[in-house]
Amino acid sequence: MKMYRSLQLSKQIATGALLSLFALGVQADSTLWSLVWNSHDQAKTLNYSGLLITESGKHSQTSKLLHQSSDGSEFEVLERLDGQPAKWIRHNDQIQCVIPDRKMILTERRHTSIAFPRVLAAADGANSLEKFYSISELPGKRVAGRAVRVLKLTPKDDLRYEYRLYVDREKKLLMRSELYSPKGEILEQVGFKEISFETVLIENPALVKAGPGWRTSSTEVRTMTPAELPYDLPDLAFGFKKADTVCRVKNADDQIHQTVYSDGLSTLSVFIQKHVPSQSMPQVPMSHGAVMSKSETQGQHMVTVLGEVPEKTLGLFLKSVRWKSQ
Amino acid sequence: MNRNEHISAMLDGELDEAEVQTILSAMGEEEVQAWESYSAVGDLIRSSEMASFHSPSLLARIEASLAEEPTVIAPVLATTLARKSAFQRVFSPERSRRLLASVAAVGFFSFALNQVVPPLDSQVQIVRTQAVNTTISDQELALWQEYFMAHQQNSVRSGLSGVSPIARVEADRPTINGTEKLIVNNAGAAEWMNVWEPSPHSSDPSVQFNYVSSSR
């Protein structure tokens, strides 16, 4: 009897311990998630400059990044250090690409600014992330001379890749981001090699003015309404949420529609254009770093899905196009 | 199989020990050259750095024999290709396409075509999940890259550098007189690094463009 009682007691203790562990776990998770959201905001509000290395597949690229924020407006300059010189300048939603060798300035207006070290691909991606990824913390590391916490975001299905985010302990800024294949290989990584939070600020941040002999050019991107399109795409599919469909005009009869999907971290684009004999896509899946693509001819159109997602997801999206009359 | 095919098969590791011995002992002057060429072709495709280990005359021979084959060049690329040096042409994608048959399961293509907008990346990996005899043309690669860059603009990972994929094509169009607006306050291209010097004549931080390409 005594035996039984003590067994009962230990059972209760065990259950209690388990429950509290579970509660602790949930609490720990939400702390980790809030660190992710926090670092996304920090990327927009902090001033910093440093050296950035992007590695994608076998290719790597070094750039210099400067970010400053004042009175709610952001100014950012990214300068490529390898290969052909180029400089990208962003003033809130306006972006310029300066190519000195060709004396060219290209401009574009973007709705959102989503470049590293920002974390999220979409502003409202925050809610859905927890549904599709589980979060855990790995032992801390050092990146660019600073102590970081390492967060592991493991997908709950096989439709996306694993992310590892290295967040600065003190400044809560994302210092490094890695993308892993299911086999555990690094597909892509981007991170600071060197960073300073005491940067010399530019007093009157402004976009570039074209000098004599320089050419300026802007890309025309038009947002399409669903009624204009000969097809329907789901608003939400496999955890990916649809953003705008834009029309990229190459010339009068050569239009490419691009619909962007995102689950908050990963993005994919569905490209649809009229099938012309002179233009085709490689019939094999192509990949570059983490980005993979798959193409298919559907009726008179060519559909291509491209994104940093596994091949399975690309196939599912190819099947999700509903043609209005074909 | 003729002798050259034997040598090719040997390089690909398709022959067994005894066959390799037979070929090696029977190799003549001409076959040694063929061997060299095949090795060089393989090295070129695998790594451009390796090219320097081979003699210039060998590269010239490879180029000459490739030049005899019919080539399809995308109209946009024609001018770019014409401007390139002979050495660059050896590495250009339409060559590698034909050489692909002799490479292993994964091929690397170098994007020599995107000289206009600074290339985001110089290599694309073709993942082969199907039969090995697939070829990829220049046009296909060019279009793929256009898609790739359009996508990159919306990807967190690309940073700012995914801007304006279509401008690549546009940049090669002749400028239309009178539709281009130039603001003269920049001393010259050499000082482009100091571009954030604010204009004394303008209070508007944005740049307005009235350059529109003729086809729109």
The CATH number assigned to the domain holding A227 equals 3.30.200.100
**How do residues B148-171 score in pLDDT, each as one tens digit?**
777 776 654 444 443 333 223 223
Cα–Cα distances (Å) from A253 to A67, B78, B143, B148, in that order, read: 40, 22, 16, 21
B161 CA: distance to closest CA in chain A (Å): 7
Cβ-Cβ contacts under 8 Å, A107 against chain B? 164, 207, 209
In a domain, B122, yes or no: yes
pLDDT number for residue A75: 87
Q: What is the pLDDT of residue A251?
A: 56
Please tell me whether residues B44 and B21 are part of one structural domain. yes
pLDDT at B90: 44
Give residue B34's domain range.
1-68
Which helix (DSSP H) or strand (DSSP E) does residue B46 occupy? helix B29-46
**B113 vs B73: which has the higher pLDDT:** B73
CB contact under 8 A, B195 and A110: no
B96/B161 same-domain check = yes
The answer to whether residue B203 is domain-embedded is no
B49 and B85 fall within a common domain: no
Q: Does residue B123 belong to any structural domain of this protein?
A: yes
Q: Which of B20, B18, B25 is nearest to B9 (CA)?
A: B20
User: What pLDDT does residue B165 have?
Assistant: 30
Q: Does A42 share its domain with A173?
A: yes
Domain boundary among A138, A162, A196: A196
Quick one: tokens of A134? 């589980």
How far is the C-alpha of A75 from the C-alpha of A77, rounded, in Å? Answer: 7
Smallest Cα distance from A21 to chain B, Å: 35
A206 with B205: Cβ contact below 8 A = yes
Q: Does B61 touch chain A (CB under 8 A)?
A: no
Does A102 fall in a domain? yes
**A-B contacts at Cβ under 8 angstroms:** 268
Asked if residue B110 belongs to a domain, the reply is yes
Does any domain span residue B207?
A: no
* CB within 8 Å of chain A, chain B residues 155-174: 155-161, 163-167, 169-171
Q: Per the domain annotation, does A61 fall within a domain? A: yes
Tell me the residue range of the domain where A269 lies. Answer: 220-323
Residue A122 lies in a domain: yes
Whole-angstrom distance between the N-terminal and C-terminal Cα of chain A?
Answer: 77
Alpha-helical regions (H) of chain A:
2-45, 126-132, 311-319
Residue B132 lies in a domain: yes
Domain identity same for B81 and B37: no
Interface test with B, best of A53, A82, A114, A164 (most B CBs within 10 A): A114
* Nearest residue of chain B to residue A201 (CA atoms): B196
* Out of A57, A86, A265, closest to residue B118 by CB: A86
Mean pLDDT of chain B: 46
Beta-carbon separation of B186 and A209 below 8 A: yes
User: Is pLDDT above 90 for B39?
Assistant: no
* A302: chain B residues, CB-CB within 8 Å: none
pLDDT tier for residue B62 given thresholds of 50, 70 and 90: low
Of B68, B88, B115, the residue that ends a domain is: B68
Domain match, B144 and B162 both: yes
Q: A275 lies in a domain? A: yes
**Are both A139 and A256 inside the same structural domain?**
no
Nearest CA in chain A to B114: A84
Whether A162 and A267 share a structural domain: no
Query: A27 CA to chain B: closest CA distance, Å?
Result: 28
CB contact under 8 A, A78 and B160: yes
Distance linking the first and last C-alpha atoms of chain B: 56
Q: Is residue B79 within 8 angstroms of chain A, CB to CB?
A: no
Residue A62 located in a structural domain: yes
* B26 in contact with chain A, both atoms CB, cutoff 8 A: no
Q: Using CA atoms, how far apart are residues A107 and A97, in angstroms rounded to an integer?
A: 6
Give the mutation candidate from B139, B140, B156 for the A interface (greatest A CB count, under 10 A): B156
Write the CA distances from A296 to A306, B42, B207, integer angstroms.
12, 31, 40
Task: Tell me, yes or no, if B186 comes closer than 8 A to chain A by beta carbon.
Answer: yes
d(CA A56, CA A189): 7
Same domain, B109 and B144: yes
Question: pLDDT: is B11 or B58 the higher one?
Answer: B11
Q: What is the pLDDT of residue B173?
A: 28
Q: CATH number for the domain including A120?
A: 2.50.20.10
Looking at the structure, do residues B78 and B132 belong to the same domain, yes or no?
yes
Cross-chain residue pair A100–B127, CB shorter than 8 Å: no
The number of domains in chain B is 2
For residue A25, the SS3 value is helix
Q: Which residues of B touch A289 (CB under 8 A)?
A: 121
Q: Kindly state whether residues B76 and B159 are assigned to the same domain.
A: yes
A179 neighbourhood in chain B, CB within 8 Å: 157
B88 and B165 together in one domain = yes
Task: Say what the pLDDT of residue A293 is.
Answer: 85
Q: Are B202 and A235 in contact (CB under 8 A)?
A: no
Examine the pLDDT at B111 and tell me if it is beyond 80: no
Residue B213 has pLDDT above 70, yes or no: no
CA–CA gap between residue A206 and residue A203 (Å, rounded): 9
Under a CB-based contact definition with an 8 Å cutoff, are residues A189 and A80 in contact? no
Same domain, B63 and B133: no
B169 with B100, same domain: the answer is: yes
Inside any domain, residue B156 = yes
Count of structural domains within chain A = 2
Find the CB nearest B154 among A106, A220, A267.
A267
Stretch among A57-61, A202-206, B21-25, B195-199 having the lowest mean pLDDT: B195-199
Closest CA to A271 of A252, A292, A256: A256
In a domain, A20, yes or no: no
**What's the confidence (pLDDT) of residue A287?**
73
Q: Which residues of B touch A188 (CB under 8 A)?
A: 157
Same domain for A147 and A50: yes
pLDDT bucket at B184, cuts 50 / 70 / 90: very low
Confidence of residue B19 (pLDDT cuts 50, 70, 90): confident
Smallest CA–CA distance from A266 into chain B, residue: B155
- Classify residue B200: in a domain, yes or no: no
Q: Is residue A185 part of a domain?
A: yes
Tell whether A16 is covered by a domain.
no
Residue B38: name the closest of B4, B89, B66, B2 by CA: B4
Environment class of B196 (CB within 10 Å of its CB; exposed 0-12, middle 13-18, buried 19+): middle
The dihedral over CA atoms of B128, B129, B130, B133, expressed in degrees to the nearest 10, equals 10
Test A284 with B170 for CB contact under 8 angstroms: no
Which of B125, B129, B136 shows the shortest C-beta gap to A57? B125
B115 and B154, same domain (yes or no): yes
For residue B150, give how far its alpha carbon lies from the nearest alpha carbon of chain A (Å).
Answer: 8
- pLDDT tens digit string along A176-200? 999 898 888 888 888 999 999 987 7
The yes/no answer to whether this complex scores an ipTM above 0.85 is no
Which residue of chain B is at minimal alpha-carbon distance from A98?
Answer: B192
Which of the residues in chain A have pLDDT under 50? Answer: 111-113, 125
Q: Write out chain A residues lying below 8 Å of B193, CB-based.
A: 87
Residues on chain A touching B80 (C-beta within 8 angstroms): none
Q: Give the pLDDT score at B66.
A: 56
Closest partner CB to A210 (pick from B137, B183, B187): B183
Contacts 24+ apart (CB under 8 A), B45-54: B45/B96, B45/B99, B45/B100, B45/B103, B45/B107, B45/B108, B46/B103, B46/B108, B48/B91, B48/B110, B51/B90, B51/B91
